[in-house]
Amino acid sequence: HLLTKGKWTFSFNMIYDSAANAVVACPRFGEGLYLYHRENHEWTWVPYRMKNRPFPISLIVRGFAREKEGVFTIAADEGLFRFTVSTQTLEPFPLEYPVKYHRYGPITWDKKGRLWISADSDGLIRYDSKTNGYKDFKKEIGLVKPGEQIFFLGSLFADSRNNIWIRRMGGYSVYI
């Protein structure tokens, strides 16, 4: 829990960013990220601002991952976004996969620069940022009938060997 500006917020995602020498906290509900600066032990709020919008937008965040130092990918009910800390800019993520609902869940980047996305009833998607290609894993995760909510992807994690761990209802799966 974070108490900032007189109100509580809940952070499900925290990542260390060496470019800012800060811990970046991404609340589940909110209009921005929080950076805890290690030098001065202070919190800074960084609002989600999109180009041509003077006010921050609010997101319901389901997944948060570091794409590279200072750049984060945010999966939300409102879509998939890229947030750059240095410019404090939020922009739609350039994914051209034909998802049905645009409601995303847990995400992770692997060591090969591929984004793994839980995409609601569209299943698990692996997006390659170098080729702009993608692969879906509907069959592998057990999505029998499109649109049927028979699976649950609770979290995704890339380990040191680049295996992708998938927390599911009733256990774990691993993509090696």
pLDDT value at position 108?
A: 93
Q: How far apart are the first and last CA of the chain?
A: 34
The 10 Å CB-count burial string (b at 16+, else e) for 30-51 is bbbbbbbeeeeeeeeebebbee
Q: In which band, very low, low, confident or very high, does the pLDDT at 6 lie, cut at 50, 70 and 90?
A: low
pTM above 0.85, yes or no: no
pLDDT value at position 89?
A: 87
Q: What is the pLDDT of residues 64-101, one digit of tens each?
A: 999 998 899 999 888 889 999 888 889 999 877 776 66
Neighbours of 138 (CB within 10 A): 16
Neighbours of 175 (CB within 10 A): 17
pLDDT value at position 81?
A: 92
Q: What is the pLDDT of residues 106-157, one digit of tens each?
A: 999 999 999 998 887 677 889 998 898 888 876 666 555 555 454 567 788 8
**Token pair recorded at residue 57:** 């937008």
> Which tops the pLDDT comparison, 42 or 55?
42
